[in-house]
Amino acid sequence: MTRTVLVCCGTGCLANGSKAIADKFEALIAEKKADARTECFVKRTGCNGFCENGPLVKIMPDDIIYYKVKLSDVEEIIDTTLIGGKPVERLLYKDDKGRPVTKQEENPFYAPQLKTALRNIGFIDPLKVEDYLAAGGYEGLKKALTMTQDEIIEEVKQSGLRGRGGAGFPTWRKWQTAREQNAEVKYVGCNGDEGDPGAFMDRSVLEGDPHTVLEGLAIAALAVGAEEGFLYIRDEYALAVKNVTAAIKDAEAHGFLGDNVMGSGRKIKFSVVRGGGAFVCGEETALIASVEGKVGEPKPRPPFPAIKGAFGAPTTINNVETLANLPVILRDGGKKFASVGTEGSKGTKVFALVGKVKRTGLVEIPMGVTLRHLIYDIGGGIQGDRPFKAVQTGGPSGGCIPENMLDLPVDFDTLKAKGAMMGSGGMIVMDDRSCMVEVARYYIEFLAEESCGKCTPCREGLRQMLGILTDICEGRGKKGDIELLESIGEMMQDACLCALGKTAANPVLTTIKYFRDEYEAHISGHRCPAGVCTALTSFKVEADKCKGCTMCAKACPVGAVSGEVKKPHKIDPAKCIACGSCREACRFGAIATEGRKGK
Amino acid sequence: MIITIDGKACECEKGEFLLQVAKRNGIDIPTLCHHDGLPGQAACRVCLVEVKDGGRSQVTASCVFPVDHEIEVSTNSRKVKEERGMVLALLRMRAPGSEVIANMCEAYGAPKIGRLKPVVDGDKCILCGLCKRACASLGNGAIETLMRGTQKYVGTPYDQPSADCIGCGSCAEVCPTGAIEMKDEKGVRTIWGSEFRLVYCRECGKLIGTEEYMKAAGNTDDLCDDC
Ligand SMILES: Cc1cc2nc3c(=O)[nH]c(=O)nc-3n(C[C@H](O)[C@H](O)[C@H](O)COP(=O)(O)O)c2cc1C
Ligand code: SF4
Ligand code: SF4
Ligand code: SF4
Ligand code: FES
């Protein structure tokens, strides 16, 4: 029989040494020749999305998946699994009840997931077009070549696919507009800017399955009648740039792209454009300006890019994940795709689940799943079983959703109605030790630096909001600040030139809406309820809860905690810098916070 | 096509920008970054109006809003006044040294918000970008908007005197707030950290421009247009 060793070589696992592991597998397998009856291959795959437990190694067809594999584990895996056919128990994942699980789909992190955009990642070698073909690749393009432009657009319309880049705009409609333009030259573009801090959905697809993005973009090209396209990828994504560049070359060599696509006589040429990495360059008109070699500033719309885009030609820009869904839609039909999801949001969505959950990583779930399911079942709940406070969705200009909305379905329209947004799929979970004013301040600071700075409301609105939020966090908040933040924010929603500015106030407006008491506590109570803002926090040991374990004293960086073993400890307020290290260290919840009224 | 602006029926053509239509009909809309020769900047956002279209209403910049079908426009609805007022209040902090902004704030009732902080005392630039576009449209490209976000400013590359600047002064001329310092003294013009020798008409003595400007314009004769 043959066994395949799939070594995860996504950016996360590579950083944890997976390349050396793959090399060692190869070397040792060659040396041992495994067993006369088992022939073994090693495959380097893209990101499996569970990076915190990497490096991941899968053995097929046994369907065994190992986590946190070390170089020193390789030999045992070869002996026990590749030759012996048995799992190495200590490298298996332990589920929530502590039972080891062998198969990937038994792991509670993966079990509820449904993969469409990520379907191949972790199973194929991104650099081998043969792997992609074996997984049904380029079937969608092949089918599209037999269809008219209108038929392709109709198929995508049936699928209900909406853009995954943030706005959720129906993909077919954008294409239809571009298709209707009478122009000699048209362009299709892939948006791989992914500027949200902490997001890596698109990077993972570009790195782990570049051909699916190319196939999706080629389908888009056929639909709108373009012969040329570009993939705009941020420069920091070196591996993505490399894999996509190699995939284009390969696809051309195999006739899936180039002057005569699959013998149809059609021409489709793609090139990679490396982006400078500003968040605002993800906005499509700024992206187009950047592709044209101009400063990455958004332009007023209309004219919409589908009518007048890159170099004045009709241009459709689609997100990486949007494109990754298209080969499946064409291959299996739009109806099948539409059978998953909710009324207004079809298919699946990839999220980068991060923050204070027990399991973090990249997950793909059907639209309409509840936030609770995502956070508690897939994410395993809050670290240390602390209380959940909020989940921030939609990237920097998304919003914070409170506990009482956890049963809401995750889809484009629900999140928007709550003042947040789907965005490209960032999902940051926060516990009771997150200060919502500080969270808002953090995002506004990011946006103040990352907006293009062209229009007044966004640039100056963000500047002033940042000043006020910083004041509130540092104990200089004033009565009326909340209302002022609201009126600046509401003005920005209308008056800004592009969607960055129009949505930039979301973190502020949603935290005010759902956590107003926390703002008030800062301003009037001189107290940060979460114990985060140092100017508004003091820590004290609750003597009845303290067991005298000394952990807090060891954790304090300035030696402000004193006490004897097994006796209640004490914090010297004169020395305390309110960093909260003691509270993190205490396992008995004996360290409480209070305000700093005396200041 | 007829649209109504502040209740007045205004004749216009499809694709015309709202600001244009309003101006032609004598309806006042304040602007800062708009320049007929360099349209489409849409950066200052003081030209906000409210557009009612069927049941929907939106506040939007009139200078880049193309009329597509019959709509109802208001230049002084409560929402416009509030939001434009806030934009102006922000601009007053951005350019505390500008009289133009101070007057506009007065004229359009911008609220005085003591809580807002001025950015740079005495600064006049509102970052509308007209200067850079004027310079670029003349083919010089001597100045740029540098950095992004709240750090953005207008300047020469690396803040060094630019070899591309011909001292024509077009940037200073289009600047709505007079933020660009240009000094003509003793036959020398100083702008953007460079000095240029001035050329005067040999007949009437009128200022024609800088030597570099003359060269760039292919003008070898020191005679002004009138002489
Ligand atoms: C500030 C800002 C940043 C954006 N960043 C991205 C991005 O990184 N990737 C992306 O695909 N879309 C991004 N978008 C959305 C794009 O403008 C555009 O809507 C999208 O690429 C269209 O593709 P889709 O219809 O497939 O979603 C951003 C939008 C804004 C306003
Ligand atoms: S809203 Fe912000 S990012 Fe968009 S054009 Fe204005 S300044 Fe630039
Ligand atoms: S004076 Fe210099 S910077 Fe100003 S427009 Fe002329 S060439 Fe450009
Ligand atoms: S200097 Fe004047 S023209 Fe240039 S950006 Fe500033 S305000 Fe606008
Ligand atoms: S005049 Fe319209 S945005 Fe400046």
ipTM of the complex: 0.97
Q: Number of H helices and number of E strands within chain A?
A: 22, 19
Q: Closest ligand 4 atom, CA of B143?
A: 4
Q: What are A303-306's contacts with CB under 8 Å, separation 24+?
A: A304/A177, A306/A174, A306/A175, A306/A177, A306/A178, A306/A181
Measure CB to CB from residue A468 to each of B46, B86, B115 and give the nearest one: B115
Residues of chain A with CATH 1.20.1440.230: 436-523
Q: How far away is chain A from the Cα of B8, in angstroms, using its nearest Cα?
A: 24
- Give, in words, the CATH class of A348-431: alpha beta
Burial A435-448 (b: 16+ CB within 10 A, else e): bbbbbbbbbbbbbb
Amino acid symbol at A526: H
pLDDT single digits (tens) A335-379: 999 999 999 999 999 999 999 999 999 999 999 999 999 999 999
pLDDT at residue A36, rounded to an integer: 56
Q: Which of A480, A481, A497 sits opposite B42 (nearest CB)?
A: A497
Residue whose CA lies nearest to ligand 4 atom number 7 = B125
- Is the Cβ–Cβ distance between B126 and B91 less than 8 Å? yes
- Residue A31 has what pLDDT? 85
Mean pLDDT computed over B119-143: 96
State the smallest CA–CA distance between residue A489 and chain B in angstroms. 10
pLDDT at A598 over 70: no
Distance CA A87, CA B47 (A): 69
**Hey, what CATH topology would domain A2-106 get?**
Glutaredoxin (3.40.30)
Q: Which residues contact B182 (CB under 8 A, 6 or more apart)?
A: B169, B172, B189, B190, B191
Distance CA(A59)–CA(A371), nearest Å, equals 32
The residue type at B108: Y
For residue A453, the chain B residues in CB contact (below 8 A) are 127, 145, 147-152
Question: Shortest CA distance to A491 belongs to which of A508, A513, A514, A471?
Answer: A508
Residue with tokens 């992206």: A287
Ligand 5 pocket: which of B33, B49, B60, B130 to mutate (most atoms <8 Å of CB)?
A: B33
Q: pLDDT digits over B31-73, tens only?
A: 999 999 999 999 999 999 999 999 999 999 999 999 999 999 9
Mean pLDDT of chain A: 95
Cis omega before residue A61 (within 30°)? yes
Matching CATH number, A537-594, of 3.20.20.140, 3.30.70.20, 3.40.50.150, 1.10.260.40: 3.30.70.20
B contacts of A448 (beta carbons < 8 Å): 149-150
Confidence tier at A72 by pLDDT (50, 70, 90): very high
Closest listed ligand to the CA of A453: 2
Task: For residue A37, name the pLDDT band (cuts at 50, 70, 90).
Answer: low
Per-residue burial over B75-103, b = 16 or more CB atoms within 10 Å of its CB, e = otherwise: bbbebbbbbbbbbbbbbbbbbbbbebbbe
Average of per-residue pLDDT across B113-133: 96
Contact A460 B94 (CB under 8 A): yes
CATH of the domain spanning B130-217: 3.30.70
Res A277 pLDDT > 80: no
Query: Is A453's CB within 8 Å of B127's CB?
Result: yes
Contact state of B148 with A451 under an 8 Å Cβ cutoff? yes
Mean pLDDT, range A438-453, rounded to an integer: 97
> Which pLDDT value is given to residue B226?
86
Fold of A436-523: de novo design (two linked rop proteins) (1.20.1440)
Give yes or no for a cis peptide into A303 (omega within 30° of 0): yes
A209-237: average pLDDT: 97
Class of domain B2-107: alpha beta
Distance CA(A58)–CA(A269), nearest Å, equals 36
Ligand 1 centre to CA of A262 (Å) is 31
Class in CATH terms, A129-337: alpha beta
Nearest to A558 by CA among A543, A542, A572, A538: A572
Conformational region of residue A101, where left means phi above 0, alpha means psi within -120 to 50, and beta covers everything else: beta
Rg of chain A, C-alpha, whole Å: 26
Task: Please check the confidence at residue A78 and state whether its pLDDT lies above 80.
Answer: yes
Distance from the alpha carbon of residue B134 to the mean position of ligand 3, in angstroms: 8
Query: What ranges do the domains of chain B cover?
Result: 2-107, 130-217
Q: Is A578 within 8 Å of chain B by CB?
A: no
pLDDT digits (tens, 9 = 90+) for A162-188: 999 988 999 999 999 999 999 999 999
pLDDT at B211: 95
Percent pLDDT > 90 in chain A is: 93
- Supply the DSSP string of B91-151, one letter for each residue: HHHH-TT-HHHHHHHHHTT----TTS--SSTT-------HHHHHHHHTT----EEES-GGG
Strands B72-74 and B48-53: antiparallel
Asked if B50 and B80 count as a contact pair (C-beta separation under 8 A), the reply is yes
Neighboring chain A residues of B86 at a CB cutoff of 8 Å: 457, 487-488, 491, 495
CB atoms within 10 A of CB A404: 8
Spatial distance between the Cα atoms of A187 and A206, rounded to a whole number of angstroms: 20
The binding-site residues of ligand 3, defined as CB within 6 angstroms of any ligand atom, are B 134-135, 140, 142-143, 165-171, 191-192
Nearest 5 degrees, angle CA A224-CA A228-CA A231? 100
Average pLDDT over residues B20-25: 97
**Two structure tokens written together for B116:** 């807002």
What residue's CA is closest to ligand 1, atom 23? A318
Rounded to whole angstroms, the Cα distance separating A122 from A118 reads 8
Residue A419, pLDDT score: 86
The reply to whether B87 touches chain A by the CB within 8 Å rule is yes
* B126: nearest Cα among B203, B210, B33, B38: B33
- DSSP conformation letters of A110-178: TTT---STTTTTTTS-TT-HHHHHHTTTTHHHHHHHTS-HHHHHHHHHHHT-B-TTTT--BHHHHHHHH
Cβ–Cβ gap A497/B43 under 8 Å: yes
Query: Residue A597 has what pLDDT?
Result: 64
User: Where is average pLDDT lowest: A32-46, A77-91, A113-127?
Assistant: A32-46
Count Cα atoms within 13 angstroms, Cβ side, for A157. 12
- The predicted pLDDT at position A422 comes to 87
The answer, for B145 touching chain A at a CB cutoff of 8 Å, is yes
Whole-number pLDDT of residue A599: 46
Banded model confidence at residue B85, pLDDT cuts 50, 70, 90: very high
**Cβ contact (<8 Å) for A495 and B93?**
no
What pLDDT digit, counting tens, does each position of A450-475 carry? 999 999 999 999 999 999 999 999 99
Expressed in angstroms and rounded, the spacing between residue B3 Cα and the centre of ligand 1 is: 34
- How many Cβ atoms from other residues are within 10 Å of residue B52's Cβ? 14
User: Structure tokens of A335?
Assistant: 């109806």
Return the sign of the alpha-carbon dihedral for residues B77, B78, B80, B85. positive
Q: How distant is the alpha carbon of residue A149 from its chain centre?
A: 32
Rounded to whole angstroms, how far apart are CA atoms A450 and B193? 29
Q: Which of B44, B117, B148 sits opposite A456 (nearest CB)?
A: B44
Task: Kindly tell me if the per-residue pLDDT of B4 is higher than 70.
Answer: yes
Residues across chain B: 227
Mean pLDDT value of segment A291-301: 94
Strand partners, A378: none
Residue B112 has pLDDT above 60, yes or no: yes
CA distance, residue B43 to nearest chain A CA (Å): 4
Q: How confident is the model over A543-559, as pLDDT tens digits?
A: 999 999 999 999 999 99
